[in-house]
Amino acid sequence: MQITGNFIAGKITHSATGETIPVYDPATGKVVRELTQSSSEEVSQAIGAAHQAFHGWSHTSPLRRARVLFNFKALLEKHRDELAELIVSEHGKVWSDAQGELTRGMEVVEFACGIPHLIKGEYSANVGTGVDSYSLMQPVGVVAGITPFNFPAMVPMWMFPIALACGNTFVLKPPALDPSAAVRMAELLTEAGLPDGVFNVVHCSNQDAEQLYQDPRIAAVSFVGSSGVAEHIYKTASAHGKRVQAFGAAKNHAIVMPDADLDATINAIMGGAFGSAGERCMALPVVVAVGDETADTLIERLTPLIKALRVGPGNKRGDAENEMGPLVSAAHQQKVLGYIDKGEQEGAALVIDGRNYKVAGHDDGYYVGGTLFDKVTPEMTIWREEIFGPVLSIMRAADYQSALQLVNSHEFGNGSAIFTSDGHTARSFVQDVEAGMVGVNVPVPVPMAFHSFGGWKRSVFGALNVHGPDGVRFYTRMKTATTRWPAGEHIVSEFSMPTLG
């Protein structure tokens, strides 16, 4: 059985403990490879490799660092099918979704290639007589990244391309459920010319991963996962003097107004709710319909489409491709099924039941069919908690203000959307909704790489978001120099607050 190893100091290594855990293909429920499990000492070795490499890499010119990333981008294009196959085999998402994930990740690499411009700082001549001031944006040091299962390539690429471009070194802990894409990207970075030790990948238990946000050699931590863990890492790492960006859970809503273009809205809801089997922090699991007539029409139009969803293994391509694959693990499948049970028990109207869904020839796969609830209320668990599966809830509101109040009352504020033909309503929504990312007639409003991604409220912990301008700010620290070069004149000591006029 193939073993996915660590990548430390420029080479693949396996844990000296000999311990491994199985990695499953969600489409079949069968083990496809084993994953090495590192000891705490080996996690420390990965941090040490990054720490040792920092001086040389941080003193490499930004232009040379950018050239490595240009080479890396070319290698990602060359090997994108290989990477997509790894993603499909371990995560279960369909082929086009795996390809789309890689494209969005590569957009961040492209953005990071502009680092000579992005960190060039500012200069002011003659701020005082013979005195100049200028700013430097310098790397923070060794950075740790801890990433989730739902985007095993894209989310790491939200982090490390910008971190490396800014001159930091990196230690990545990828998810145990789908770890192999991260290791393959590490190999491609080395092939692109990245020096040994600058980028490292380590697989370990959550307990041993605590070093990544407590070790004094780590300067900053980037995390994406559940809100409980995000808050814990934010508090713990901050208490250890580290810079932290920690992204948590989401419960994104879409308000559908009576004047919305229904054909476009229905298609958008289907993709937003059921793309990647709902395993997205920017999925669209809740629709707030304004008016009973709007809600009834949505139910009528959505029902046949959800029942007709092509659900099956993700490795089919072209015309044979499925629209939705399995969930990532047996445990997560049971969690999602439990939410459907809970919704029914708490009184939501179950219009389409995705439980007991079977795919011919894949009886042991982790499948859940598209599920639709109507008449969901704020007291219900399926509204309060992030399900992370193919479950769509319809809520009903009497008017726009009631719908907006419902959206804003939720503890999470990752993303939100509105579907309407009225510009005034759309503009008001963008201004007033309490969410970090907003869509107008767009179901999944994920910003492009040159803008920053991040939510509000308990969807994020930390002041700076990921990629875009905030990403550059997070992975650099500002230094301002004020200089005077006297031309031989006598300088008199000043004991008051200095002025430079």
Q: Is residue 275 part of a domain?
A: yes
Contact predicate 243/220, CB 8 Å:
yes
Which CATH number belongs to the domain containing residue 306 in this structure? 3.40.309.10
Question: Over 80: is that where the pLDDT of 497 sits?
Answer: no
Phi, psi angle pair for 17, to nearest 5°? -70, -25
Mean pLDDT (the chain, rounded)? 96
Of the listed 113, 166, 204, 281, which one is catalytic? 281
Which CATH number belongs to the domain containing residue 123 in this structure? 3.40.605.10
What DSSP element (H or E) covers 395?
Answer: strand 391-397
Quickly state the pLDDT bin for 486 (edges 50, 70, 90). Answer: confident
Which of helix, strand or coil describes residue 144? strand
Do residues 271 and 184 share a domain? no
Distances in Å between the Cα of 163 and the Cα atoms of 83, 138, 451 are 22, 11, 16
d(CA 51, CA 140): 11
Distances in Å between the Cα of 393 and the Cα atoms of 87, 253, 285, 297, 390 are 28, 10, 6, 14, 10
Q: Is residue 448 part of a domain?
A: no
Count of alpha carbons within 13 angstroms of residue 48, beta-carbon side: 6
Phi, psi angle pair for 125, to nearest 5°? -85, 145
Q: Is residue 487 part of a domain?
A: no
Question: Over 90: is that where the pLDDT of 495 sits?
Answer: no
- Which distant-in-sequence residues (6+ apart) come within 8 Å of 6 by Cβ? 12, 13, 14, 15, 36, 38, 42, 46, 183, 200, 201, 202, 203
- Which distant-in-sequence residues (6+ apart) come within 8 Å of 276 by Cβ? 93, 97, 150, 283, 324, 325
Question: Over 90: is that where the pLDDT of 501 sits?
Answer: no
pLDDT tens, 332-364? 999 999 999 999 999 999 999 999 999 999 999
Q: Is residue 96 part of a domain?
A: yes
pLDDT tens, 292-301? 999 999 999 9
Average pLDDT over every residue of 11-24: 96
List helix spans (H) across 275-422: 292-307, 330-345, 381-384, 400-408
Do residues 31 and 54 share a domain? yes
pLDDT at 229: 96
Quickly state the pLDDT bin for 487 (edges 50, 70, 90). Answer: confident
pLDDT at 334: 98
d(CA 116, CA 153): 25
Contact predicate 145/157, CB 8 Å:
no
Alpha-carbon radius of gyration of the chain: 25
Q: Which residue has the tokens 């992204």?
A: 247
The per-residue DSSP string of 211-231 comes to GGGT-TTEEEEEEES-HHHHH
Q: Which residue has the tokens 């001086």?
A: 55
Which of helix, strand or coil describes residue 308? coil
Q: Is 204 annotated in the active site?
A: no
pLDDT at 500: 62
d(CA 493, CA 351): 81
Q: Is residue 493 part of a domain?
A: no
d(CA 225, CA 233): 10
Percent of the chain with pLDDT over 70: 98
pLDDT at 70: 98
Beta bridge pairs of residue 25: 30
Do residues 226 and 262 share a domain? no
**Number of domains within the chain:** 2
Quickly state the pLDDT bin for 308 (edges 50, 70, 90). Answer: very high
Contact predicate 43/209, CB 8 Å:
yes
Do residues 57 and 103 share a domain? yes
pTM for the full model?
A: 0.95
Quickly state the pLDDT bin for 489 (edges 50, 70, 90). Answer: low
Question: Over 80: is that where the pLDDT of 289 sits?
Answer: yes
Distance in Å from the first CA to the final CA of the chain: 73
Question: Over 90: is that where the pLDDT of 220 sits?
Answer: yes
Domain that holds residue 159: 3-248+459-481
Do residues 217 and 312 share a domain? no
Looking at residue 56, what DSSP letter applies?
A: H
pLDDT tens, 119-138? 999 999 999 888 999 999 99
Question: Over 90: is that where the pLDDT of 488 sits?
Answer: no
Phi, psi angle pair for 124, to nearest 5°? -125, 115
Contact predicate 354/370, CB 8 Å:
yes
Do residues 87 and 100 share a domain? yes
Question: Over 90: is that where the pLDDT of 494 sits?
Answer: no
Average pLDDT over every residue of 357-376: 96
Quickly state the pLDDT bin for 491 (edges 50, 70, 90). Answer: low
Instruction: Count CB neighbours of 71 within 10 A.
Output: 16
Quickly state the pLDDT bin for 24 (edges 50, 70, 90). Answer: very high
Contact predicate 105/99, CB 8 Å:
no
Q: Is residue 38 part of a domain?
A: yes
Average pLDDT over every residue of 365-377: 98
Q: Is residue 278 part of a domain?
A: yes
Contact predicate 372/302, CB 8 Å:
yes
Question: Over 70: is that where the pLDDT of 383 sits?
Answer: yes
pLDDT at 217: 98
The per-residue DSSP string of 177-211 comes to SS-HHHHHHHHHHHHTTPPTTSEEE----TTGGGG
pLDDT at 288: 98
Q: Is residue 446 part of a domain?
A: no
Tokens of residue 185, six digits: 């990207």
Q: What is the β-pairing status of strands 286-290 and 391-397?
A: parallel
d(CA 313, CA 326): 7
Do residues 124 and 164 share a domain? yes
Do residues 52 and 21 share a domain? yes
Which of residues 470 and 495 earns the better pLDDT score?
470
Do residues 229 and 81 share a domain? yes
Nearest to 249 by CA among 444, 93, 385: 385
Do residues 214 and 291 share a domain? no
Do residues 156 and 265 share a domain? no
Percent of the chain with pLDDT over 90: 96
Quickly state the pLDDT bin for 492 (edges 50, 70, 90). Answer: low
pLDDT at 1: 80
Do residues 436 and 412 share a domain? yes
Sign of the torsion angle spanned by Cα atoms 152, 155, 161, 164: negative
pLDDT tens, 184-197? 999 999 999 999 99
d(CA 405, CA 318): 43
Q: Give the rounded distance of the alpha carbon of 445 from its chain centre.
A: 13
Burial class for 499, CB neighbours closer than 10 Å (0-12, 13-18, 19+)? exposed
